[in-house]
Each structure stands twice: as C-alpha cells, then as structure tokens.
Homo-oligomer: A and B are copies of this chain.
Amino acid sequence: MALIVQKYGGTSVGSPDRIKNVARKVAKFRAQGHQVVVVVSAMSGETNRLIALTKEVASNPTPRELDVVVSTGEQVTIGLLCMALEDIGVPAKSYTGGQVRILTDSLHTKARILDIDEAPVRKDLDEGKVVVVAGFQGVDEHGNITTLGRGGSDTTGVALAAALKADECQIYTDVDGVYTTDPRIVPEARKLDTITFEEMLEMASLGSKVLQIRSVEFAGKYKVKLRVLSSFEDREGEGTLITVEEDKNMEQPIISGIAFSRDEAKLTVVGAPDKPGIAYQILGPIADANIDVDMIIQNVGHDGTTDFSFTVARGDLDKAVKVLEGVKAHIGAREIETDKSMCKVSIVGVGMRSHPGVASQMFRTLAEEGINIQMISTSEIKISVAIEDKYLELAVRALHKAFGLDAAV
C-alpha cells in the first residue's frame, strides 16, 4: 500500500464527463489498496472566465479580491469530484486551500506556501477516504484567501506530497510524459522514462510546458518522487519519472532532450564606445524596465567602438528599443539594430558534465546543415544557441538525430 498524491489539471477536469473519468481513475488506484490524495485545478476556461468578470467591474482589480473570486474555480472542482467519487461508492472529502490548511505568505495572486497542516488529511486517509484538495490556493495567517499564481496546482500537489511524505506525486496532464523534444517537430521524439530534476528545470525554463518550474524546484528540494503522465485512457502508461539522482546506467544518453523557443528577439547597439562599464550602461536601464535579458554578446572592439548584442522575449522588444533610444544618446552609440526573426535551440543533459566534446558536436551538426550560430550561452548541463527562425525545425531534427535521441524503429 502506497500513499499517492495525484494532480489533475484543468483539461483533465474540463467537463462533467471528464470529472467522472477522473473519479473512475482514482477509484481504481484506491481499489489497488493505495491511499489517494487528489489535487485539482479549475475546469479549463473557468479561471479565464472569472478573470474576465473582474475586468468588467474594476479597471484595476484588488489582488486580495481577485484571489477571492478566482479561487472559486478550484472550489467548484473539488466538490464535483467528491460527489462523483461518492456516486460510484468511494468515500471522499473535499478541502479548500484554507480548510487543509495550506498556509502561505500574503502576496496575493503569487503567494508562496509556508506550511501545510497535513493532520486532518491523514486522519481522513486512515478512515479510508479519498481526500480532494483545491490546487492553486491557500490562506495567509490572517485567514485571507491567497492564490499561488498560474500553474500553482502543480506546486500544491508537490507540497502536499512533501508534507504527507507521499510515496509518489503524479502529475496528470494531456501528454503522456516528458519527451526528448516536441513530437510535433520531430516525429521520432521519444518519451523519456526518467529525467533528472536539473534537466527538467532546464527544459521547463526553456519553454517545455509540461510542468510548472516552481513545482519542479519544490520537488527537488524536498526529494518528492515526481511523475508526469496522461489522464486520458488511451494514453495510459508509466509516464516520466523525475529523479533526484542521475541514472547510473552506462547506456544513458549524454543528452536527454532538445528544447527550443521561438519567442526571441535580438537587439544590437552598434558603434558603442569600447570602454569599461559599457555593459552596465546598456543593461542597467533594461533591467530597471523589468525586461529579462537572455543571451549577451560584446564583440571585440576596433577603432575604439564595439557592437553590443543581447536577446529578450519578443513581446518585450518594443519596450527595450524605447529604453535603448535613450541609452544611445547618452553613451554616444551609432544606432540600434533589431532582429525579430530569432529563435533559441538548446540541448540539455546531465551527461555533458563528463563529456567535454558535446558543444563541438552541437556546433558541427549545425554547421553541416549550413545554420549560422549568432549567439551562444551555456550552463553546466545546457548549451543554447540563437539562430535564424527559419532554421528552427531543421536544427532541432538534426540535433535530435546527431545525439542519438531518435526512437529505434
């Protein structure tokens, strides 16, 4: 008998029929002798409907009251799932975030979990009940309703698993696991049986939407065994287990996955004076404007000037250009160039720590396809390159094959 925390997202509980489907799934686990805690999101579309309502009554909705309104989405789902469970003979009890209680700080709309009182949940489990908890929400020390921000239900699931010392936290989604890369781009992409937390973090921060990044950090910190799998019956399986330890299997590939992002734009300050402090003079005002900078290149200068390039999210480009126009006059640069047709492709794998040739293999592969690398950034377990947008699919497919990730047919 194991204690399992299962989290079902908005799509998985998106209609009465799907809720009944989740109830049957949960009942099956319980029939196998497991204790089950279920965390649910709002039915898909519900959170957006509620937010739209708030925008109709107030130009600038108060965060505290926004949380009061938005948290009802998950509250509806816990009630519905419990009655669906009881309707098929499974005793169940629902908890809002405040009832559990999931204590958070008071940062409305993006609160952080401080503590969970798992005693009542454990009591219900011991009485044979399935416990259903509203994801995404908590309560601060004054009894105010808080929410954890988008995707916060994953974090609720992991935090509950940590508090209950659950044997496993299962995150049910509309995909059946974590893939070596997006199967829509590379049909040969393989589902990974395991991936390390570090790799998953890099994949998540690079645009893989499977798991919310905060929940992965949380699971890593508290050593929660985390598994991503599909809630749809035709895709049932073992999913992908996210592990703390690197797989010791010798046959493990060096690279676990290829992530990419189309959402990139490059700015270049041309003819900036080549002297100390120029990076700060350019990037300081950008940071002050709350724009995240990703990759940075400062060219080797000549004639006392240099070109300074960096990338930002495409949505921030116009704002960044405005900031740089001011900077240009101030530092006496020649002009600002922009390039919207950028994308980023990254290879991720803990194996590259012990395999120094990975970067050169990546660059050779791209060169063989005639793809020009414009910028490079690296971490211990990741190498990212910025390339022209139109080469994205080609680059991902070539790298997927070159690093031996293609599925054996």
- The verdict on A61 contacting B83 (CB below 8 Å), with A68-B94, A98-B98 known, is yes
Can you name 29 A-B residue pairings with CB atoms under 8 Å?
A16-B56, A16-B57, A19-B57, A23-B57, A50-B76, A57-B80, A57-B81, A57-B83, A58-B86, A59-B87, A60-B87, A61-B87, A62-B82, A62-B83, A64-B93, A65-B80, A65-B92, A66-B79, A68-B75, A68-B79, A68-B94, A68-B96, A69-B75, A69-B76, A69-B80, A69-B83, A71-B75, A72-B72, A96-B145
Binding site for B on A (CB under 8 A): 16-17, 19-20, 23, 50, 53-54, 56-62, 64-69, 71-72, 75-76, 78-84, 86-87, 92-94, 96, 98-99, 143, 145
Q: Which residues of B contact A81 (CB under 8 A)?
A: 57
CB neighbours of A54 from chain B (8 A): 79-80, 83
Query: Which residue, of A59, A78, A79, A96, has the highest number of chain B Cβ atoms within 10 A?
Result: A79
Q: Which of B65, B66, B67, B82 contacts A65 (CB 8 A)?
A: B82
Cβ of A100 to closest chain B Cβ, rounded Å: 10
Residues of B within 8 A of A94 (CB): 64-65, 68
B residues in contact with A60, CB < 8 Å: 87
Q: Told that A68-B75, A68-B78, A98-B98 touch, could you supply 18 new A-B pairs with CB distance under 8 A?
A: A16-B57, A23-B57, A57-B87, A58-B87, A59-B87, A61-B83, A61-B87, A62-B86, A64-B82, A65-B79, A65-B92, A66-B83, A68-B79, A68-B82, A68-B94, A69-B80, A75-B75, A99-B143
The residue in A16, A50, A60 that gathers the most chain B C-beta atoms within 10 A of its C-beta is A16
Cα distance A17–B20 in the bound complex, in angstroms: 36
Cβ-closest chain B residue relative to A63:
B83
A23-B23 Cα distance, complex, nearest whole Å: 41
- Of B58, B71, B84, B92, the residue contacting A57 (CB under 8 A) is B84
Tell me, in angstroms, the Cα distance from A79 to B60 when the chains sit together. 13
CB-based closest 8 A-B pairs: A16-B56, A68-B79, A69-B79, A72-B72, A58-B87, A58-B83, A65-B79, A57-B84
Min C-beta distance of A113 to chain B, whole Å: 19
Q: Which B residues touch A58, using CB under 8 A?
A: 80, 83-84, 86-87
Complex alpha-carbon distance, A96 and B87, angstroms: 28
Are the C-beta atoms of A72 and B76 separated by less than 8 Å?
yes
| A56 surroundings in chain B (CB, below 8 A) | 16-17
In the assembled complex, how far is the CB of residue A43 from the closest CB belonging to chain B, in whole angstroms?
9
Q: How far is the CA of A20 from the CA of B54 in the complex (A)?
A: 11
User: Chain B nearest CB: distance from A27 CB in Å?
Assistant: 13
**Which of A75, A80, A98 gathers most chain B CB within 10 Å?**
A80
Are A65 and B50 within 8 A (Cβ)? Answer: no
From A66, A72, A87, name the one whose CB has the most chain B CB atoms within 10 angstroms.
A72
